[in-house]
Structure 1
């Protein structure tokens, strides 16, 4: 199986828009857009899409039914009232203004079939000598209400077929009911009216032509929503060529193409516009010292500086050049690993690249195909080193096989270095029985089931319907435009054409992207009600605390009544009493060390064991609930206090038992970093050297061995005797 992949080569397109401006196009009920207005709106959308996409496609505008005649085929009574309003060329601002202000409905009718002939002739003549054009398209916009002659239908069909020109017709919607007189009129307005006999004749002719040339017909109601979105600029695919090296002897010539990349606007807000177009706007930047004279400094006398503390360290261009790592362009496989070892959250970089064999190299295609299939069958991926060119830094990434029915390739994703990974450790949720923390927040089975049902009903993979009524995915990336860019383009085109008016409201089509699909919301209404019942929310009123200012405030200008003074004295006594510290009954989370020492000092039987048990639970809770190492210092202080008191009261066995169990808990809960800190701070098992009921020194060392990462200082504390023993 050879390694093939499909890529679209961007070829230019020549488009001729044929617009019917006859009197029938200007007729509509009051309050309803005429076919002429709808057609002009569609043309504006086509032109704007080409402009914002910076397309090099060329478009011409031919008017059918114009007051004047302006076309090279006009002779005698033939091809009258047809004019080329804008010859074939790249869309510019003048073309937009022409469509917006100069194109009006006329009082004479024209033959739309003659308009097709004029458009075909104009495209053929205008494309003479131009290279890069691979497509020709005719777009006819008419309500089919004008008269036409059918004597050239066969020639028109043959000409379209021979020139491989695509024909698209945008007109009022027509179907079987329309032919019976029960159809609707302009589908964009939603008004229903019977079609005229002339329109039915035109519909029959259009259907015949479309069947012969395999063209497409769209109603205005279908065309306008499809044209409402601005397209991004076209990018010609450029291959990154480099041999894929596997070991010292295998080198496969490959081409890399960017598959997905973050889209950035080419437009910049740094440029400025002068209200007087005759004035030239330029930029002038000067540099000055921060002194009284604001002395100007020449740009050649400056170098970049980087702050190191309060000192600016100069860094010249030569320094930066010498500092760069010099690497040669390469693409080397470092090794292979299971695909599940590469997590999706570890795929980084600014996009995805498709790797295929070099075009035309059959040997490379066979070799790369063998690699792809071997990786696919063994569920493996390749870890590779990539250097884009000699000026680039090396990157490490993975090559994942991708096989479809008609092509296969490798996907390249960059992988993070250690500095790129954010080390966050989160406490476990109180869902499982073995988690002892936050038991009161454990959800019930009914609550879990309610949330699970909500997630199921919010599934977007089957929320929509295709043309056949079958469930399909909504908001697919390939069909979903970025609403931010669409709104920006909408405002830009409005400001360009209407410089003095306010910006328009958000387009309803763009607003739909910002709202959940209606089908999903309808399916989730029952889930929302269930969630409100299962997760009852109560407003917790915060107790008002009496401040010292309010408690001791007295009015010095008047004598307080006796009853008020007695009440104040009562409040004063109560306030002072509340300031006294309450009796400690358990080890709290605010001051656990002080609470533990208070309980330990109480001379009651079994009070020490109870206090140690509470302290152990509090240490475990603080560590497991810590956001990263946020509360590790507090937990370590508690652990040191517990160890000290256990040594003092000859209860080393109780502490050692807790530490052994605590170690297993830390490792299972991904808190190994706290155990490493315990080892470095020497807060592990109590040995016999510290307490008579402790463990032996060998057991203490065995407990710590291989578990902590020793720093250079601890490594340097090895005694001479230990070094001799190792020798």
Structure 2
């Protein structure tokens, strides 16, 4: 029987639950088959409700003390109750399953229950449209007596109506298997119970039926993990019809949402409930801002925009006239190589699948030619898309997608210039040989250890099935958002138990946010090696009671006698942590670079001053390069100020004047011109002759350098001038 899945995408489900005596027996401390079955039904209803499914569900009880079903005539179809007619799953049904189902004292015939379920599906779907699938789910351990007089009729009805039969309860073993799973008694995987002859006979019968109708059977232990997943939201696909315009050639196409972001529909509202017995609601009124608070009808209001102190009214017609007018279209603007399409340029909240108009052979041939041409030339199309006349135009990329059974174009949105944010991040010092970064360079052992950690935590081979085959863990298609699942869990609990606190996180949800045990065990040896290779040292607190402010207060001073304090006298070692810290400075660090620089140049070795200047220059360049935006600019500017100031004091302007032109070229080349603008604004450019007699840069040359007119002259200007003694030596 052919069913149009596009038009008929709803499912009718009849759940048959055995509540007979055999379903309520289990060893102490083990859930009974009835309890396990109720948990499974609860999970099915959760999937239907929280996925906003329009599927309809009916509940039929087997093995009840009374009889209530349309087929009962006093002698047949006894101990069967139609508890809930076919309808969309809701909280009333969920609450009924949770609290109103009680075990019965009489055994029922599960074959009769299947007939009642089939009859109810047939009658319940009369006059209803959109149902493409019928399903009967039987929860039973087959412990009751049954009659097989109408077996062929039952099998024929299931086959003719296309009904799918699922049985959840026993584990149907092979003939040579002596051990079995007695219903739910093995639900926890630790307890086995020998099946009764009646159960084995029932299993033989249900296995025969399943073989005839291609049905499926699951034990409770197999079914519950699968039912733990909430069903993904079912959406009826609606085509976006348009013409694909390529230079005047138009191809009728349909667009279907392939992937789209899912959002919870419910919105949390705060309301004041005066009477707790009445459902809370909202009432909104509008009032003028005057003493009387005059109420105004919504129809008498108009939106306004503040322009200075004036409110400019804007009617709906005004707002419509302000909008950009565009026609619905999908127009190709041009083509480019696929390598120019970067993954980080993908924008929007989903992917659109573009296919040819249905039953249009010419459109299918034309679109297929375009798809294959893009694929063979390794190209993509850049297109303009307008969803509707009142929509804003979007820029996007069309790239080919070819499979064995179908081919299409995928549309993803691309950013405009205003959508792009350019952030520059400093790279790891893997090959940096400067004194500033060398100590942070990872060793070969550290890199190898990290590479092994990534390999050991690979999720593509993290799961192992019963046959020993490896499979991927946390597949996106099977992994649901734990936030949504937690909201669903709490909503269900609050409806069923309004006065109880919210439950703990479900283990099923916890599995989404925790690493698989196999991955953790495989990575343990590598993690132990990481502890040895990446040693973490605990920083001891100041035991002398000295505060950080008193220790580093000298670092904030621009100049003064404090800059020369690092020199230790004979009795200074007893002076506390402050002097000991300053005595150990060997290079310009990243924490307090200005203090380190002053500590180094306080030594009387001239060669050490040149080395300290080089370190400070490298540190300034590193801080600017590693800065996230302008985050570290103030620190780099302070370092530059101190460097310039000390070069003037030491009468060594050439060191600064030689560095600055190169630094300017570096800044402009790396897109950091905004820092150069700050240097100019703070007047930290070249050191001129009025500032330092040893400088060869005049005021005019300094101004030309700042304005960008002089570039290469600074290197020559930085060379030392010839003295009178040099001229006499040449004679």
- In the TM superposition, what whole-angstrom CA distance separates every residue of 1:187-221 from its partner, at most 9, and x where no partner exists? 32432011111111111111111111110001111
Matched, 1:473 2:449: no
Q: Is the 8 A contact 1:450 1:527 kept in 2?
A: yes
Report the counterpart of residue 204 of structure 2 in structure 1. Answer: 204
Alpha-carbon separation, structure 2, partners of 1:660 and 1:394: 46
> Which residue is 2:443 aligned to?
444
Q: Which residue of 1 aligns with 2:139?
A: 141
Q: CA deviation at 1:459?
A: 1.0
Shift of 1:182: 5.6
Question: Take 1:181 and 1:601, find their aligned partners in 2: how far apart are those partners?
Answer: 87
Partner of 1:713: none
Residue 55 of structure 1 aligns with which residue? 53
**What is aligned with 1:171?**
169
The alignment's TM-score, normalised by the length of structure 1, stands at 0.80
2:459 counterpart SS class:
coil
Q: Relative to structure 1, is the Cα distance of residues 658 and 32 closer, same or farther in structure 2, using a 3 angstrom cutoff? A: same
The question of whether the paired residues in 2 share the 8 Å contact of 1:426 and 1:626 is answered with yes
Structure 1 pair 181–462 and aligned structure 2 pair: CA distance change class (3 A): closer
Q: Secondary structure of 2:226's match?
A: helix
Which structure 2 residues correspond to residues 453-468 of structure 1 after superposition, within 5 A? 453-466=452-465, 468=467
1:105 corresponds in structure 2 to 103
Q: Hey, what does 2:324 align to over in structure 1? A: 325
**Structure 2 gap segments, 5+ residues each:** 552-570, 689-694, 713-731
Q: CA deviation at 1:656?
A: 8.1
Q: 1:653 to 1:701 in 2, by over 3 A?
A: farther
The answer to whether residue 534 in structure 2 is matched with residue 535 in structure 1 is yes
In the TM superposition, 1:275-674 aligns within 5 A as 279=278, 281-287=280-286, 299=298, 304=303, 314=312, 316-318=314-316, 319-433=318-432, 437-466=436-465, 468-543=467-542, 546=546, 613-614=614-615, 616-632=617-633, 658=659, 662=663, 671=672
Greater Cα shift, 599-608 or 143-152 = 599-608
Q: Contact 1:428/1:669 (CA < 8 Å) preserved in 2?
A: no
Q: Is the 8 A contact 1:428 1:435 kept in 2?
A: no
Instruction: Find the aligned partners of 1:33 and 1:598 in 2 and give their Cα distance.
Output: 75
- The reply on whether 1:124 has 2:122 as its aligned counterpart is yes
Bigger RCO of structures 1 and 2 (CA < 8 A, at least 6 apart): 1
Does the 8 Å CA contact 1:401/1:410 hold for their aligned counterparts? yes
Cα offset, 1:168, TM superposition: 0.7
- Residue matched to 2:725: none
Of 655-664 and 234-243, more deviation after overlay is shown by 655-664
Q: 1:302–1:370: structure 2 CA closer, same or farther, 3 Å change rule?
A: same
Superposed, which structure 2 residues align to 1:172-321 within 5 Å? 172-176=170-174, 180-181=178-179, 183=181, 185-186=183-184, 187-190=186-189, 191-247=191-247, 249-270=248-269, 279=278, 281-287=280-286, 299=298, 304=303, 314=312, 316-318=314-316, 319-321=318-320
SS in 2 for 1:446: helix
SS of equivalent to 2:477: helix
Q: 1:625–1:180: structure 2 CA closer, same or farther, 3 Å change rule?
A: closer
CA contact (8 A) 1:647 1:691 kept: no
Superposed CA offset, 1:571-611 (max 9, x none): 9x969x979x9999988879989999999999997788667
Mark the CA change 1:274 to 1:154 in structure 2 (over 3 Å): closer, same or farther: farther
Q: CA deviation at 1:643?
A: 9.2
8 A contact 1:67–1:108 mirrored in 2: yes
Q: Matched residue of 1:478: which SS?
A: coil
Compute the displacement of 1:678 (Å): 8.3
RMSD, aligned α-carbons: 4.4
Distance 1:276 1:107, change over 3 A: farther
Distance 1:380 1:672, change over 3 A: farther
C-alpha separation in 2, matches of 1:109 and 1:138: 20
Residue 347 of structure 1: how far off its partner (Å): 0.9
Secondary structure (helix, strand or coil) at the match of 1:624 reads helix
TM-fit CA distance, 1:548: 12
How far does residue 539 in structure 1 lie from its aligned partner after superposition? 1.1
CA apart distance, 1:536: 0.7
Residues 1:189 and 1:527: Cα distance change in structure 2 (over 3 Å)? closer
Q: Residue deviations 1:23-43, cap 9 Å, x none?
A: 222222222222222222222
Question: Distance in 2 between the 1:588 and 1:218 partners?
Answer: 66
1:496 is paired with a residue whose SS is helix
Moved more, 494-503 or 596-605: 596-605
8 A contact 1:10–1:236 mirrored in 2: no
| 2: CA distance, partners of 1:129 / 1:70 | 24
Q: Which moved more, 1:524-533 or 1:218-227?
A: 218-227
Contact 2:383 2:395 in 1 (8 A): yes
Contact residue 42 and residue 224 of structure 1 kept, 8 A: yes
- Structure 1 residue 393, shift from structure 2 partner: 1.4
Shift of 1:430: 0.9
Distance 2:271 2:138 in 1: 40
Distance in 1 (CA, whole Å) between partners of 2:591 and 2:43 is 65
Report the more deviating stretch, 118-127 or 164-173: 118-127
Do the aligned residues in 1 keep the contact of 2:687 with 2:697 (CA within 8 Å)? no
Cα distance, 1:214–1:435 mapped onto 2, change above 3 Å: farther
Kindly state the Cα deviation for residue 234 of structure 1 after the two structures are TM-superposed.
Answer: 2.2
Alpha-carbon distance change, 57 to 588 in structure 1, aligned in 2, over 3 angstroms: closer
CA distance in 2, matches of 1:9, 1:587: 73
Deviation sequence 1:114-158 (CA, Å, 0-9, x none): 221222222222222222211111111111111111222222212
Indicate if the aligned counterparts of 2:171 and 2:180 stay in contact, CA closer than 8 A: no
**How far is 1:11 from its partner?**
1.6
CA contact (8 A) 2:686 2:697 kept: no
Question: Could you say what secondary structure the match of 2:460 adopts?
Answer: coil
Q: Mind listing any 5+ residue stretches in structure 1 that lack a counterpart?
A: 1-5, 552-569, 705-727
* Larger CA deviation: 680-689 vs 432-441: 680-689
Q: What residue number does 2:148 align with? A: 150
Q: How far apart, CA to CA, are the structure 2 residues paired with 1:258 and 1:371?
A: 21
Distance 2:583 2:16 in 1: 90
Q: How far apart, in 1, do the equivalents of 2:687 and 2:337 lie?
A: 40
1:35 aligns to what? 33
Q: Distance in 2 between matches of 1:359 and 1:679?
A: 66
Which residue in 2 is equivalent to 1:710? none
Bigger shift: residues 505-514 or 455-464: 505-514
Following the alignment from structure 1 to structure 2, what is the Cα–Cα distance between the partners of residues 273 and 86? 36
How much does 1:261 deviate? Answer: 1.8
Pick from 22, 25, 28: which aligns with 1:24? 22
Deviation for aligned residue 1:174: 3.0
Q: 1:703 to 1:19 in 2, by over 3 A?
A: same
Q: Which residue of structure 1 aligns with residue 562 of structure 2?
A: none
* Paired residues of 2:33 and 2:183 also in contact (CA < 8 A): no
Q: Structure 1 stretch 6-15 or stretch 99-108: which is displaced more? A: 6-15
SS at match of 1:386: strand
How far, CA to CA, are the matches of 1:588 and 1:41 in structure 2? 63
Write out per-residue CA displacement over residues 521-574 of structure 1, whole angstroms, 9 at most, x where no aligned residue: 0011001100000011111224456469999xxxxxxxxxxxxxxxxxx99x96
TM-score by length of 2: 0.79
Aligned partner of 1:558 in structure 2 is: none
Cα distance in structure 1, aligned partners of 2:686 and 2:450: 43
